[in-house]
Amino acid sequence: MPTAISDLAGEFHNVSAFPPVAPSVPEPEDGKRRRYRTIWISDVHLGTKGCNAEMLIDFLDSTDSETMYLVGDIIDGWRLKKKFYWPAAHNDIVWRILKRAKRGTRIVYIPGNHDEVVRPFCGMNFGDVEIRRAAFHTTADGRRLMVLHGDEFDTVMLTHRWLAFVGDTAYHLMMALNGWVNKARQALGMPYWSLSKAAKHKVKNAVEFISKYEEIVARAAGERGVDGVVCGHIHTAEHRIFQHNGRDIEYWNDGDWVEGCNALVEHFDGRMEVLDWADEIAGRTVREAGPEDDERERAARAVA
């Protein structure tokens, strides 16, 4: 058996029900979903406690599209290799993605570094899911975008792979702390907040790394003659415009479902937008609270 296939079997042997007969959390029956031409998500990290599975399930139940790109690190093979963790909610996400494919959505899976064990299967189709090393997407208004995970441009991954594994361990410790913080916030009726995302914006070296990474990826897109790039990898949703040989090159990062809980979407006119799903849920909660609850909240604030 080839090594890649052997590794795949060894790492995912316990994930035996793809897709399960039925999800533990059923899809809503009303069918009220926002329709987009294209959706991009990445860095879900199924198989880890840091994955915001419930929030992603809510997103998948609230949206639909003609095409969906899974832009890498969907399953975290690094963590599964150390310790197997696969709750029902993670199965529910896989079930929903495969159900979309069955309904006619084009699903393109571009493996990242954490699910690199899938890369030997690029060019194949499994369960109506296309596995590709990279892809090119043409928007409704004619822009040509390169789609790839982005670890190809991470200098740490390229030159010090061992350091990436050390950083991964530290990152997951922070994710555990992030989970405790948000359980406390939830108990206090406060919305979701990302500890690591806030830290990234405060630490100078992290800001410099992200900025340099974005510039390198955009330049690579410009050298390939496309109009822009969509990637993931650094868990930082962003849209920037870079100049390359006198041309504007769009850089889009679709974020993640560990810290920011973001998705990138294309509307049917070609307009693109980064969604912050934590904000979406918070806004929905306010709308559903109704005027009576708003009045109680204002009265409580006045007493305080």
The CATH number for 110's domain is: 3.60.21.50
- For residue 172, pLDDT over 70 is answered with no
- For residue 14, pLDDT over 60 is answered with no
- For residue 268, pLDDT over 90 is answered with yes
How much is the pLDDT for 159?
40
Which pairs count as long-range contacts for 101-107, CB under 8 Å and 24+ apart, including other chains? Answer: 101/127, 101/128, 101/129, 102/128, 105/64, 105/65, 105/66, 105/67, 105/68, 106/66, 106/67, 106/68, 106/130, 107/67, 107/68, 107/70
Alpha carbon 265 to its chain's center:
12
Within-domain flag for 170: no
CA-based nearest residue to 79, from 103, 102, 49: 49
How does the average pLDDT of the chain come out, rounded?
A: 81
Within-domain flag for 220: no
Within-domain flag for 215: no
How much is the pLDDT for 167?
45
How much is the pLDDT for 30?
73
Within-domain flag for 171: no
Within-domain flag for 137: yes
How much is the pLDDT for 119?
94
Within-domain flag for 288: yes
How much is the pLDDT for 163?
38
Q: What is the pLDDT of residues 54-63, one digit of tens each?
A: 999 999 999 9
How much is the pLDDT for 45?
96
Within-domain flag for 136: yes
How much is the pLDDT for 152?
87
β-pair type (228-231, 135-138): unpaired
Q: Give 119's contacts (C-beta < 8 A, 6+ positions apart).
A: 4, 111, 133
Q: What is the pLDDT of residues 38-94, one digit of tens each?
A: 999 999 999 999 999 999 999 999 999 999 999 999 999 988 988 999 999 999 999
How much is the pLDDT for 127?
79
How much is the pLDDT for 203?
46
- For residue 253, pLDDT over 90 is answered with yes
| Residue with tokens 């299967």, as numbered in its chain | 121
What's the number of domains the chain is made of?
1
- Domain span at residue 61? 34-155+226-302
How much is the pLDDT for 169?
52
Within-domain flag for 1: no
How much is the pLDDT for 194?
62
As a whole-number percent, the residues of the chain with pLDDT over 70 amount to: 70
pTM of the shown model: 0.77
